[in-house]
Structure 1
């Protein structure tokens, strides 16, 4: 009985069949917990399947915390992420390469709010100037990560989750149009990639 308790504590409450967030890959499902011998040591591994990416990942139980793996966000966190998307985008005046690194770090952090900030900051409505290729790639990566987690939490399709996010982005579009107008009046342009 004591060994069973110890193993559950080591797994930090993760169970087979549960959806999790792995920062570098997004939402996956634990399909099995298996033991493998590596260099003479018995390692307990969580087998995580990322269906959309057609990828299976094996994570040693001892590394769960250090890789940043976490359970899905709860409903209040999803609500806060959707509120973040509705907020006013932060227009940064730094070089694109530095901003791109910051956005990439936020996307790979696995933090739903940070990913929502990237979606908000890189979103372009029909009336706004076109995005560069690299901006579009980062936006789509952030939107994909965010929609997959919202879909898993709300038990809906990815398409429905994207629709929810885009509805919230549209609610902030009027503020974004005003921000773009003031930016044009200032005469300052942000450089593209």
Structure 2
């Protein structure tokens, strides 16, 4: 009887705050005398992440969305409203919570709102960093969906949403 895994080798998944990648393998590692199983996730930036199989549900990891879902998110991206009533602290906290969910729509909202704000005034260093992270997060998934590099996905994303 084989072990049941939530994800399989070759699955394209999204790891919140890090982006999308492909599960390359499932490996056993001995740590402090105990053997644990890990998903080995290859991210587009050549970084590998090992995620414990037994705790995978704690990380809000999900499969990469399909092209129809992506198109719907990009449509909502263009037409959604930005909440301009929040002060910096509230906005930063809200954006961080959205990014931690790993949901594509939440990440797209953060990117949209920060891009709009950046056009109006210079963002502070924390929000500039979050803008870059949100752009990488969305472009990594866009790249996997379309079979292109992350740089090509950033260019496509900038084109689609208007830099």
TM-score range, shorter chain: 0.7 to 0.9
Which residue of 2 is the match for residue 97 of structure 1?
89
* Count, aligned residues: 163
Which residue of 2 is the match for residue 107 of structure 1?
99
> Residue 40 of structure 1: CA displacement?
4.5
- 2:9 aligned to which of 8, 16, 19: 16
User: Which has the greater radius of gyration?
Assistant: 1
- 2:42 aligned to which of 37, 42, 49: 49
For 2:28 and 2:151, the matched residues in 1 are separated by 37
Which residue of 1 is the match for residue 131 of structure 2?
139
Q: Which has the higher contact order (CA 8 A, sep 6+)?
A: 2
- Consecutive unaligned residues of structure 2, counting only runs of 5 or more, are none
1:79 aligns with 2:71: yes
Contact 1:47 / 1:57 at 8 angstroms: preserved in 2? Answer: yes
- Consecutive unaligned residues of structure 1, counting only runs of 5 or more, are 174-193
Contact 1:87 / 1:120 at 8 angstroms: preserved in 2? Answer: no
Q: Give the alignment of 1:150-189 within 5 angstroms.
A: 150-170=142-162
CA RMSD between the two structures: 2.4
1:119 aligns with 2:111: yes
Q: TM-score, normalised by structure 1?
A: 0.73
